[in-house]
Structure 1
Amino acid sequence: MSYTTTATIEGKLAKCKDRWSCFYNNLQKRLGERTTLFTEMKEEFKNFSYDNNLNLSIKNLESLEDVTKNIFEMIEERINHMKVFMPIMEELIKTLKQSQKELTEAKISLKRIEILSKYRDWIKRLRSVVVLKMNEEEGKKFENWDGLEETLRDEMDNKDLYEDHGKYYDLKYTKRLESILKGFNLTRSDFDHLLHINEESISEFHNKKMSLRDLDNARLELAQTTFPKNMADTKKTLEKALNALGIWKKEFYKINVS
């Protein structure tokens, strides 16, 4: 089903307004000409003769003028109605435009929620891979992402405390994380963006369970998905996330399967 856009309605309304304006101006012009013509005709009749027949003609002519004037008054009243109607229609156009804008914004918002929720699980998978890579090194082991995230926060807090006293603090785990991300062609900024995307997604939106076998299809689907203009950076970051999982997948197979 097709709907008439507000632009189309506005265009038709503008044409209608122009036509009525032209009609009204012409009506006023013709009304003036009619008045002048009847006045001249009456004067000519009066100066010509005063017999009964001519007087009757003059009387009839005056009646005709009254009727004609009444008709024009009716038309003018209709025009006045239109003058009242036009502002109402213009206000309606404004309301429709605002509604259309709100609907567009709502559609974009829903599209954003759909996209973020759809790729949430892939981001979580990448976080798990990062934890696995962190645990390959000597030192503290992490059970899950929450444990690693807490350690990274503690490092930043310790760094601030040390610097307040003019001392240096080595961000051991932060540096290790950034090294792992670099191997996946990701920057720390990219990774933080992915974490933010995950936080913005709605966990109540359940996605189809996916495994690493679905990674190639996920990449293809992402490439074919049209993102809202204000999410162009999000699409690029998600592409990097899926590519990072692809790098780890090849690395895993090379070490454990080959």
Structure 2
Amino acid sequence: MNDYNTRLSSFKRKGSKLEERFEVLKDENNECLEDIINNISENDKDQCIANIGKLGNIMKNTYEMVGEQTELTKKAISVVKELTAVMTHTRTRLDQLEIKVNRTEFLSNYRDWIKRFIDKVKDKLGEKEWRLAESALFYLESGMELTDEELNCIENLKDFLRDVEMTIDDIKLLREMRDKSNALFHSNGQNLMEAQTQLNNPLPDDLKIYKIPLQKALEAINNWRTSRF
């Protein structure tokens, strides 16, 4: 970025010098024209010819300066375009980083709540029943045929989820989100109300599909906790 600032500052200084030279040439041009008019009125042909030659040199210098100014402008525009491209790229990278941070934070925050929900499902169904159901979900997602026992576990899981207004698709999404979470994430001390409230915040597009099953899971946890008192 400093390089661009240096180059633009250099162009600005050169542009200022050209403006000063233009002013000098403008004054010289006006003086020369006035001299030519006087030469004509005084019928001083030799001096008139000399001043016309001088005027030609002034015009030549002016054209050269216009060329310099044009070239300087082109270079400045080129630098501005480069700088704009760099800034656009930087903005894109920052946006991507923000999305990544939001995604990481989201997965980190709700990983623990998903675990609590699944632990409660295990308690309700029984450890063995849940293991069979989870295996059945894996085989189902892999397009494999299920055994009668696995089909029965899936039906039992459906019945259980129906009581909390959830479906097999909801539990699939929760498991998928859990699997996406980094194993190194730790609990962030978030309470249930904070977890529910945070779901109202804007989410990265690829995480929006998890919002509804998460809301249902958190509501189920809240209801289960409330029913104990």
Q: Distance in 1 between matches of 2:111 and 2:217?
A: 11
Quickly say closer, same or farther: Cα 1:78–1:56, change in 2 above 3 A.
same
Residue 202 of structure 2 aligns to a residue whose secondary structure is: coil
Residue 142 of structure 1 aligns to a residue whose secondary structure is: helix
Q: 1:99 aligns with which of 90, 103, 120?
A: 90
**1:181-237 alpha-carbon deviations (Å, 9 max, x no partner):** 111111111111111111111232322346xxx3234323433x3323443332222
TM-score w.r.t. length of structure 1: 0.63
Residue 80 (1) aligns with residue 81 (2): no
Residue 215 (1) aligns with residue 192 (2): yes
Aligned to 2:3: none
Amino acid at match of 2:193: D
Shift of 1:241: 1.4
Quickly say closer, same or farther: Cα 1:200–1:126, change in 2 above 3 A.
same
Residue 199 of structure 2 aligns to a residue whose secondary structure is: helix
Aligned to 1:127: 118
Q: Distance in 2 between matches of 1:58 and 1:151?
A: 104
Gapped regions of structure 1 (runs ≥ 5):
1-33, 136-140, 163-167
Aligned to 2:145: 160
Aligned to 1:203: 183
Aligned to 2:7: none
Q: Distance in 2 between matches of 1:161 and 1:92?
A: 59
Is the contact made by 1:194 and 1:238 (CA closer than 8 Å) also made in structure 2?
yes
Shift of 1:70: 0.7
Aligned to 2:134: 149
Quickly say closer, same or farther: Cα 1:169–1:56, change in 2 above 3 A.
same
Q: Distance in 1 between matches of 2:51 and 2:138?
A: 102
Amino acid at match of 2:77: M
Residue 232 (1) aligns with residue 218 (2): no
Structural RMSD (CA): 3.5
Shift of 1:87: 3.0
Q: Distance in 1 between matches of 2:101 and 2:183?
A: 14
Q: 1:116 aligns with which of 104, 107, 131?
A: 107
Number of corresponding residues: 197
Amino acid at match of 2:115: K
Amino acid at match of 1:142: K
Is the contact made by 1:118 and 1:207 (CA closer than 8 Å) also made in structure 2?
yes
Q: Distance in 2 between matches of 1:208 and 1:113?
A: 13
Residue 186 of structure 1 aligns to a residue whose secondary structure is: coil
**1:161-188 alpha-carbon deviations (Å, 9 max, x no partner):** 77xxxxx777111111111111111111
Quickly say closer, same or farther: Cα 1:190–1:118, change in 2 above 3 A.
same
Aligned to 1:71: 62
Q: Percent identity?
A: 26
Is the contact made by 2:133 and 2:157 (CA closer than 8 Å) also made in structure 1?
no
Aligned to 1:178: 158
Quickly say closer, same or farther: Cα 1:88–1:117, change in 2 above 3 A.
same
Gapped regions of structure 2 (runs ≥ 5):
1-28
Is the contact made by 1:152 and 1:173 (CA closer than 8 Å) also made in structure 2?
no
Q: Distance in 1 between matches of 2:185 and 2:124?
A: 29
Q: Distance in 2 between matches of 1:97 and 1:156?
A: 41
Aligned to 1:194: 174
